[in-house]
Amino acid sequence: MPNPVFYDFKRGILRLSVLLTLLLFTVTGVGVAYLATSLLATMPTPQYYIYYSTIDTSTREFKLEIILLNPEIRRVEGEVSYKLGCMNQTGIVNLSQDLARGVIIQEEFNEKRKELIMIVDEGVARSSSGKITIEKTIGKQVPENYTCRLYLNITTPFGSQTMPIEVFNGLEYVPLEIGNRTIYILTGSQPSSATYPLYSSTSDFITYPVFNSSVAGSASASIYYNRRSGEAYLLLSIHSVYDGEFEVYLGKPGLINTLIEPGKPSAMILNSSLVDEYFNKINMKIKNGISIVEFDTSLFNNTLGRQSVYAVLLLSRDNGTMYSIIRAPSSSIQSGQSARMIYNQLLGIAGIGLFALFFPVVVLYLIYVYVAKPRSQGALEFVLARPITRLQLFATRYTAGVLVVLVATGLFYIALSAAIYFLTGVSTSPTGTLLLFAGLASSLIAFYSLCYLLASLTGGTRYIVASVLAYILFAMLWSLVALALTLITTGGFTTNFFEQYVRVQYISYYFNPLRIMDFTQYYFMVNEFGEYSLIPGIDQVISEVVYPWAVALSTIAWIIIPVVLAWLKFKKASLYA
């Protein structure tokens, strides 16, 4: 004889309507993950990337390298489309003079300057391990006396960036004369970087400002520092006409003031022994191209991040002396920013919120199938004619429904989490995973218990009406209830109305079975990032009214009390109603 719980579980979950709903929500989990990444990709957020490009005018050889980065300076996959536009500087000067003399108006100037841009090459490429490398011979020759710019359209799961094709937009190449040929060089990183010439000298001395040296390339550097994790990254982009490896040095705190502050020495002359006096060496050698160097911030005695600009020295002695002293901008990055962006989608109405909003309809339907409908048809009396007690019948169908809820929630959550991981590389911690699943499942089981009570009190159409009204109240109208209570307690829209609304909202969640998950989502964000909201003061407000013991008692009460009351009614009620 089959286990009655397993039998009712199969009977519930294998119903065509339930299977279609589960399939819909499982597929929705994947779709929502894709939608979440697509929404993020269309947001006009700053993109982090390092770029390096050269154009050899004699051979028409074009090279482009880009590393795409997420907001935490980690490699991320994406797509880059580019256009290489070159323009006649003389034409731009003449056009500007015509505008100044009134020969043309501003609108004509804007249109005509677009016509000056000649698209030399264009293409689209997908990254591999976050990096894009393009090497090709371009079809058009770059004419003499032309300047060139690179226009990039970049899309990653964390945003997009578009560079309109305009004369003064795009990334500008620097021409470098090498013998009888010209090489256009482009180095840098976004959203901020500093690009300086790379010098070649026959002397062993390094001078700043530079004199008695020839330009041998271009170098760019920027620094990103995470105050919370202590991680620091140096983004480098280097092109040298000579082969060689560069040693990397970061100026000690205060050095940048020596270089630029009025009244300080206007020139710095360093030999090999003096380099270590002014700079800290980063133990890594860099070749031509783009690099991400993670370095030890302990070298700087926790002073990194206190300056907006640091001096970076690149030094090679493989082929004479090559060096560049760069004033590199320093920026702070937020720990977990990329994951927070994804989790906001995961927890919102496009993710778990969508499932929590609509799956309760399946829950109330399950109880209609298990209890309300057979009770109205007298089928429960027929079941009790078999060797089974009322308590066994009551417990079996309740347990079977709980299993259906757990399985459905698990399928949706696994599909959603797996899809987000494969699309973005972001995954929750084991504790975070448990919190989210437990909160969502507990909310649905609590609502299941409430509907089980309603099915014990009534049956048939009356149960449908009562359960739908309960669903509308708890799932859709509860925010309005909290808003009304806030207006009553505050007397209107005061200066701290939002904080009071948040406070009342979270207190009210104790009295709503479908809002248990809001508590676990709060603890999830605190566990993952150390804070729930980026809005100042909100975490303090929530922490004043949300306690683990109170959340646990509320959850247990919403699950147990309706079941106990349902049994007290069920054991005495007529099962034909």
pLDDT at 151 over 90: yes
pLDDT at 28 over 80: no
How much is the mean pLDDT over the chain? 79
Nearest to 546 by CA among 555, 534, 557: 555
Q: What is the pLDDT of residue 1?
A: 42
| Count helices and strands in the chain by DSSP H and E runs | 18, 20
**Exposure of 423 by Cβ count < 10 A (0-12 exposed, 13-18 middle, 19+ buried)?**
middle
Question: Bigger pLDDT: 107 or 5?
Answer: 107
CB 219 within 8 A of CB 242: no
The highest-confidence range among 5-14, 208-217, 277-286, 372-381, by mean pLDDT, is 277-286
Dump pLDDT digits (tens) for 474-496: 988 998 989 899 888 887 777 78
pLDDT band at 272 (very low <50, low <70, confident <90, very high): low
pLDDT at 573 over 70: no
Of the given ranges (315-329, 371-385, 500-514), which has the lowest mean pLDDT? 371-385
Of the given ranges (25-29, 306-310, 320-324), which has the lowest mean pLDDT? 25-29
Question: Bigger pLDDT: 426 or 554?
Answer: 554
Dump pLDDT digits (tens) for 185-221: 999 998 888 888 888 877 777 766 555 568 888 999 9
Dump pLDDT digits (tens) for 501-539: 999 999 999 999 999 999 998 888 888 777 787 677 788
pLDDT band at 263 (very low <50, low <70, confident <90, very high): very low
**Exposure of 168 by Cβ count < 10 A (0-12 exposed, 13-18 middle, 19+ buried)?**
exposed
| Concatenated DSSP letters of 359-390 | HHHHHHHHHIIIIIHHHHHTHHHHHHTSS--H
Dump pLDDT digits (tens) for 534-553: 677 788 889 899 999 999 99
Q: What percent of the chain has pLDDT over 70?
A: 78
* Region 438-463 average pLDDT: 88
Q: What is the pLDDT of residue 261?
A: 45
pLDDT at 398 over 90: no
Q: What is the pLDDT of residue 262?
A: 42
Spacing of C-alpha 327 from chain mean position: 30
Angstrom distance (rounded) from CA 412 to CA 414: 6
The domain 45-191 is placed in CATH, from the list 2.60.40, 1.10.8, 3.40.1350, 3.30.70, at 2.60.40
Q: What is the pLDDT of residue 441?
A: 92
Nearest to 408 by CA among 472, 331, 454, 356: 356
Q: Where are the beta strands (DSSP E) in 470-543?
A: none
Dump pLDDT digits (tens) for 339-370: 676 777 677 665 677 778 888 888 888 888 77
CB 322 within 8 A of CB 242: yes
CB 309 within 8 A of CB 261: no
Q: What pTM did the predictor assign?
A: 0.61
Of the given ranges (23-37, 453-467, 531-545), which has the lowest mean pLDDT? 23-37
pLDDT at 379 over 60: no
Dump pLDDT digits (tens) for 217-236: 899 999 888 766 778 889 99
Q: What percent of the chain has pLDDT over 90?
A: 19
Angstrom distance (rounded) from CA 46 to CA 123: 22
Q: What is the pLDDT of residue 267?
A: 53
pLDDT band at 266 (very low <50, low <70, confident <90, very high): very low
Interior angle at CA 338, CA 333 and CA 341, nearest 5: 120
SS3 64: strand
Q: Which CATH architecture has domain 192-334?
A: Sandwich (2.60)
Phi, psi of 385 (to 5 degrees): -70, -15
Nearest to 448 by CA among 390, 517, 361: 361
Q: What is the pLDDT of residue 311?
A: 84
Of the given ranges (16-20, 88-92, 352-356, 542-546), which has the lowest mean pLDDT? 16-20
Dump pLDDT digits (tens) for 236-254: 999 988 878 898 988 877 6
**Matching CATH topology for 45-191 and 192-334?**
yes
Q: Where are the beta strands (DSSP E) in 302-422?
A: 309-316, 321-332
Q: What is the pLDDT of residue 141?
A: 83
Question: Bigger pLDDT: 164 or 61?
Answer: 61
Phi, psi of 556 (to 5 degrees): -60, -40
* Region 450-474 average pLDDT: 87
Q: For the chain, what are the domain ranges?
A: 4-41+338-570, 45-191, 192-334
